Amino acid sequence: MISDSALAESFFRHGRSDACPIIDMHGHMGRWKGIYFPRASAEAMIHTMDQCGVRLLVFCHHAALFCPDIGNAASARAVRKFPDRLRAYLGVNPHYGAALAADLAGFDDNRDVFVGLKLLASYHQVPWDAPAYEPAWRFADQRGLPVLGHTWGGSSLDGPEQVRRAAEKYPNVRLLLGHSLHGDWGEAAAIARDFPNVYLELTAVLDDRGVLETFVAAGLSGKLLFGTDLPWFDPHHGIGAILSAEITDEDRHNILHRNAERLLADVGAKPN
Amino acid sequence: MRFFDCNTYVGLPMNPPPGQPARPGVSAQELLAAMDRAGIEKALVWHVAQRDYDPLAGNELLAEAIAGHDRLAGCWTLLPPQCRELGDLDEWLARAAAAGVRAFRAFGQENRYLLRGEALGDVLSRLAAGRRPLILSVGKEWQALYDLLGEFPELTVILADLDCWGTDRYFRPLIERYPNVCVEISGYILDGGIEAFVGDYGAGRMLFGSGFPAAYHGGMMLALAHAEISEQDKQAIAAGNLDRLLGEVGP
Ligand SMILES: [Zn+2]
């Protein structure tokens, strides 16, 4: 299947590829109000990762983003249970400044758990350049941390203008555009070309045929990161899409693991 | 595994989907070449002009596109008969069958009518009697779909293009109540979704579809090929169920 790719041959035959140990840079965990998840627990997610050949998932527990009563502790528990397979983004809820300050103050003591920050401005209804986010941006900029932001084309909260502004103002942040400014693919590619520290993350991008080819043709093979929103989307679906796209196996290795390996090594979070 | 794709179109969309400037649509020949590359044996095809331009012209374009290709079966698009656009319904269905059409689609929003008995009763009663599948791209129209199935509980309906933002709580009640409702998986990319569905309902009412050329062939092919269900169940979803449904279509 996919007759022109050796990598596809391996994935279709075995479901995974030892030569291509995947890093998923965008996950969540646990139940969530809007979707029935058959596999929401850390254990079930690890099972899926095993099935698909995903060696490492960087995630942010739904509770950290949607339930201030529980917060980031949920992510930490899961990472400490599966330290070889999981790392977390510290979830930022801009409505709870004191809790955020406390989380950031504890960040350096929990580097075994957290590799960066996660923003979900479209859901929290606060724009990236609002004062409430500034402590998080400054913290990440000082440390050169990855910040995975949900980004969406047309959004005034986390759309292209906000992304450009943040990339200019915080040049040390490794800015991961979750969903690649979904729908505004041209702007996503332009921003990723303009700013060396901006990466395009592919959750919910891979269900639209052709976007990946557009990004690779724009010279961005080295700046694309695989992601699934696990437990939302089956990694096999995303992998199968990447195998189907009209790009090379070298591009596929870049997207599925090499770019993430380099990024994580750069920020001192080298996967095992 | 043998794949029979129940959700793919030919033709050029009026507006190419964003991000697909190079080749937004395909001819029947290009579709067959892409199916060869992916390893798909057969497809049940519609023509994008049925949605974007005009159902009648689109139906004719579909008939021309699949003529002579025995790997391609077709879908025609319905209209409410009150405007006399389809002519005599029995003759229209006979022409459809002669053109290789095995299933039907309805685009109520684009064609501006309601998916209800008042509008489509004469057409849908014939589809139900002949066990002709109706493929519906669901979108957000769940209320209308519930109403439609309440009126036509025997209809064979394939729920297609489920969006990826969580649809189980919408479609599972329909699966439990109406025995001829099936789901097509191109948009059902939920992790563990295939396994959970098959565990609760068996494999007989889930159908492989790719969504090509708007989506890639290989996404759900790989997901299905490595789903944790029996080989027999995988094969049923990949092709067997659609073979069975189309085999039941009456005169
Ligand atoms: Zn997310």
Q: Which chain B residues are closer than 8 Å to A54 by Cβ?
A: none
Give the distance (Å) from ligand 1 centre to CA of residue B119.
Answer: 42
Per-residue pLDDT of chain A (272 residues; tens, 9 = 90+): 677 899 999 999 999 999 999 999 999 999 999 999 999 999 999 999 999 999 999 999 999 999 999 999 999 999 999 999 999 999 999 999 999 999 999 999 999 999 999 999 999 999 999 999 999 999 999 999 999 999 999 999 999 999 999 999 999 999 999 999 999 999 999 999 999 999 999 999 999 999 999 999 999 999 999 999 999 999 999 999 999 999 999 999 999 999 999 999 998 887 66
Domain boundaries in chain A? 2-266
Instruction: State residue B222's pLDDT score.
Output: 98
CA distance B77 to B49: 10
Give the distance (Å) from ligand 1 centre to CA of residue A154.
Answer: 18
The total of structural domains in chain B comes to 1
The domain that contains B140 carries what CATH number? 3.20.20.140
Report CB contact under 8 Å: B216, A44: no
User: For the CA atoms of chain A, what is the radius of gyration?
Assistant: 17
Instruction: State residue A98's pLDDT score.
Output: 97
B33 shares contact with chain A (CB less than 8 Å) = no
Query: Of A26, A9, A16, nearest to A226 (Cα)?
Result: A26
In tens, the pLDDT along B123-134 reads 999 999 999 999
Instruction: Using the predicted structure, report yes or no on whether residue B21 has a pLDDT greater than 60.
Output: no
DSSP-based three-state secondary structure for A134: helix
Owning domain of residue B195: 4-247
Instruction: State residue A3's pLDDT score.
Output: 78
Reported as a pLDDT band with limits 50, 70 and 90, residue B141 is confident
Region B195-209: what's the mean pLDDT? Answer: 98
Instruction: State residue B230's pLDDT score.
Output: 98
Reported as a pLDDT band with limits 50, 70 and 90, residue B235 is very high
Instruction: State residue B19's pLDDT score.
Output: 63
Strand pairing class (A146-152; A174-182): parallel
> How many percent of chain B have pLDDT more than 70?
97
CA distance B32 to A50: 34
Instruction: Using the predicted structure, report yes or no on whether residue B20 has a pLDDT greater than 70.
Output: no
In this prediction the pTM is 0.97
- A35: number of Cβ within 10 Å: 18
Instruction: State residue A79's pLDDT score.
Output: 98
Note the CATH number of domain A2-266: 3.20.20.140
Report CB contact under 8 Å: B216, A238: no
- Identity of the residue in B187, B216, B222 whose CB atom sits nearest the CB atom of A209: B216
Reported as a pLDDT band with limits 50, 70 and 90, residue B24 is low
Is there a contact between A204 and A179 (Cβ–Cβ < 8 Å)? yes
Reported as a pLDDT band with limits 50, 70 and 90, residue B139 is confident
Pinpoint the alpha helices (H) of chain A: 6-14, 42-52, 62-66, 73-81, 97-105, 121-124, 134-143, 160-169, 185-194, 211-217, 235-244, 249-253, 259-266
Indicate which of B37, B189, B198, B217 best probes the interface with A, i.e. most A CBs within 10 Å of its own CB: B189
Instruction: State residue A60's pLDDT score.
Output: 98
Instruction: State residue A150's pLDDT score.
Output: 98
Mention every residue, 6+ apart, whose C-beta is less than 8 A from residue A26. A58, A59, A148, A176, A178, A201, A203, A225, A227, A228, A229
Instruction: State residue B177's pLDDT score.
Output: 98
Written as six digits, the tokens of A255 are: 């997207």
Instruction: State residue A270's pLDDT score.
Output: 74
Q: Please, which residues bridge with residue B157 across strands? A: B134, B181
Region B33-55: what's the mean pLDDT? Answer: 97
Query: Of B213, B234, B191, B203, nearest to B4 (Cα)?
Result: B234
Mention every residue, 6+ apart, whose C-beta is less than 8 A from residue B1. B224, B225, B234, B235, B238, B239
Instruction: State residue A222's pLDDT score.
Output: 98
